[in-house]
Structure 1
Amino acid sequence: MVEDEMIKYRLNGPASQERQRIRLMAALCENRFPQAVVIDGTPGIGKKALAMEISKALQCTDMFERPCGQCFGCKMAADPGAADNWVFPLTAAEAQAKSAEDVKAGSRAKTLQDIKQGYIEQIVANPYRTDIFDAGAEISVNLIRAMKSTFVMKGDRTRVVIVAEADRMNDAASNAFLKTLEEVPPDTYFVLTVASRERLLPTIRSRCLAIHLSSLTDAEVKEETLRMLGDDADEDQVSRDVIGLSLGSPGKAFFYLENAKALCGLASDFIVKSLKNDYSALFEELAENDLTEVSEANGFLEVLSFLIADILRKQSGAAVRLPDTMAGMDMDAFPRVDADALEMALATVQETMERIASRRSTAMMCLQSLAIKLFEGYK
């Protein structure tokens, strides 16, 4: 029998995150891998991708190098049909869907397994995506109970459960999951992914090995984005502005592939038309972009903040993050807009984002008010 220390482990991923992977590979090689790991970091930087690599490595049965990608364990880890290997947030309607065993023969209704498989297929196809789950979805106590009920069917094989976006567990689910961690079945491992582990119960955090995943370099973001897009990808599609807005997250890059040009253009118009007091044209443009939802309005304001910060960077001689958009802006026409004005403008945008999030006023009213107040005293 081959000793565990003869087995080589290799977790794949970007170079920027190699230090974290080395830590995990050392634990695997030394046969001291914890039964629960929590991976935290900025959305869209590959936490689910690393979780799947860990799952393959733990379930692999190759005697020399793991994960091999060929054995039954590796294939199970990557199989979208293995829905019991995942827990993730669902909407109330999705969570209440019937199981396959409860659906009548010939029914075309989507079962809970169908819904989960659909999500897993999307994650496997592109683990960087940040828009897979509904904003109102959560991990309920029933989903945790359903996970626990499958343990009796595990047999003697190694079992790995990935709890994606675990910081979206509600209170009841968190308490139920904590009880599971207190009595983890043999050869069972949990890998949790979260945007911030501070959102987890302290008692859950204390039972997990914490791994903080680093953001990627701009070059890595472009490389990973093009790799996920496939062989037909157009390199020019991943523009300099897309990379700048992504802030080290391929997941954000995928969002901005479709939205950067429109959002940056609107942000540029917002600044210029506000400075020119051309409010009627600006209000009309805002209405055309239909920024009525909180997430959409604040998503635009994030880009606006980015652009204002870029103007400040340019004035100080620093490199800008949105070179394509900045190339089309002539801020020399507004000499009074200095560093103080820009810093005040950034604070005003932040205040507006908080007002929109509070829902005390409509998003459109807040944006129109911002247009009037932006650079107040400097126009």
Structure 2
Amino acid sequence: MIDYSLKGPVSQERARIRLMSALRENRFPQAILIDGPTGIGKKALAMEIAKALQCTDPAGRPCGHCFGCRMAAESGATENWIIPLEAAEARAKKAEDATARSTAKTIEDIKQDYIKEIIKNPYRVDIFSAAAFISVELMRTMTSSFAMRGDRVRTVIIAEADRMNEAASNAFLKTLEDVPPDTYFILTTSSREKMLQTIRSRCLALHLLPLTDDEVQKEAARVADEDFDRTMLTDDVVGMAVGSPGKALYYAPLCEQWNPLAVDFIRKSLLQDYTDLFFALKEASLEDPYVANRFLEVMSFLVADLLRELGGAPLRMPTTTASIGLKNFPRIDATALELALVDIQETMSRIESRRATTTMSLQTLALKLFEGYK
């Protein structure tokens, strides 16, 4: 029997044991859906699975050095990945259609750049823009390449599978109904509820757990760029990440700006000091919906921490939360904080759906926050 060993954090060992058992017993499903919070390592596990499936070592898999393993972790093997692209990127020419004199990037070049970033840091949460999606053309290109597979095992990682548009979802569903032999699809998502139920039902569901705070700090420091200041991975940053090394790395350089701004947002909303608050929001450059919602995540963590403070529970962001000075606002109780969390979530949904500009949404939230308790 071939031995399989998938690497990863201890917190996710149960999921890996389940996969290794299926690999050893030769009953691995042809489609698997890995879901869990953003930035916890779903793509890292997907690449480990791809290496294990494509590895040709007769004893231990993945070996990490055979042709199959190298192909699974090689950015040039763009046919092994389906990733979200912005509309302009998705319209780029294929390499086979580009002229010799063309200097524009082909769609393979664009995909390769993204895949390089994923391989370098699979926890990263801001690789794809909010407008990126998986088009039906990407699905058709994938299925047309099956004929060139030969007799080798083929794995396809579909990153952020919830971003498939309707046409892409329907095309992929047809592929799932008749998967070619020795072909395996590994889907990752942080929003499985956005996917077609018929696709979800045809995949083995695997839920990944967030990491411990110690694991977050260790993994974030391991994959960070050489010039990244690892002292920025403070207890507040790690607490804010809630088990996600990707979020820890994303929030760390922004904490000096965002944490004080989030504290100001809450305090100035309570004090009804809107003029200064609106000016501070403008200076913070939160026009991008993705960035604005990450800031609101910080806000929601702070409000949730205030709830913990009221209940006497340990704080996730002790230094930042203490700076709000909740005791100076005696009218704020658990109900007020719970309503504030609802208001923040509704604002995030409004921003994500682009029903209003981020500036208008944030200003409306400031006026509404703690309404009736000020």
Q: Normalising to structure 1: TM-score of the pair? A: 0.92
Answering whether residue 30 of structure 2 is matched by residue 13 of structure 1, we say no
Please state how far the C-alpha of 1:314 moved relative to its aligned partner. Answer: 1.3
Out of 17, 40, 57, which is 1:22 matched to?
Answer: 17
Q: Which amino acid aligns with 1:238?
A: L
| Aligned residue number for residue 153 of structure 1 | 148
Moved more, 140-149 or 311-320: 311-320
| Aligned residue number for residue 137 of structure 2 | 142
Out of 49, 52, 74, which is 2:47 matched to?
Answer: 52
| Aligned residue number for residue 177 of structure 1 | 172
Asked whether the 8 Å contact 2:130–2:289 carries over to 1, the reply is no
List runs of 5+ in structure 2 lacking aligned partners: none
CA pair 230-314 structure 1, distance change in 2 beyond 3 A: same
Residue by residue, what CA displacement relative to the aligned partner does 1:280-299 show, whole Å, maximum 9, x if unpaired? 22222122113334333333
Out of 273, 277, 289, which is 1:282 matched to?
Answer: 277
Mapping of residues 1-379 of structure 1, within 5 Å: 5=1, 7-229=2-224, 234-357=229-352, 359=354, 361-379=356-374
Q: Secondary structure at the match of 2:215?
A: helix
Q: Secondary structure at the match of 1:155?
A: coil
Moved more, 251-260 or 17-26: 251-260
Q: In the aligned structure 2, how far is the partner of 1:358 from the partner of 1:198?
A: 16
Q: In the aligned structure 2, how far is the partner of 1:51 from the partner of 1:328?
A: 41
List runs of 5+ in structure 1 lacking aligned partners: none
Asked whether the 8 Å contact 2:130–2:290 carries over to 1, the reply is no
Residue by residue, what CA displacement relative to the aligned partner does 1:51-92 show, whole Å, maximum 9, x if unpaired? 100110011111110000111111111111111111111122
* CA RMSD after TM alignment: 2.0
What is the count of residue pairs matched by the alignment? Answer: 374
Q: Which amino acid aligns with 2:144?
A: S
CA pair 160-229 structure 1, distance change in 2 beyond 3 A: same
Q: Which entry has the higher C-alpha Rg, 1 or 2?
A: 1
Residue by residue, what CA displacement relative to the aligned partner does 1:312-368 show, whole Å, maximum 9, x if unpaired? 211221111111212433333333333343334334434444554565554333433
Q: Which amino acid aligns with 1:185?
A: P
Q: Which amino acid aligns with 2:270?
A: L
Please state how far the C-alpha of 1:256 moved relative to its aligned partner. Answer: 0.4
Please state how far the C-alpha of 1:97 moved relative to its aligned partner. Answer: 1.2
Sequence identity of aligned pairs in percent?
A: 62
Asked whether the 8 Å contact 2:232–2:253 carries over to 1, the reply is no
Q: Which amino acid aligns with 1:325?
A: T
Q: In the aligned structure 1, how far is the partner of 2:283 from the partner of 2:120?
A: 34
Asked whether the 8 Å contact 2:76–2:112 carries over to 1, the reply is yes
Runs of 4+ in 1 over 6 A off after TM superposition: none
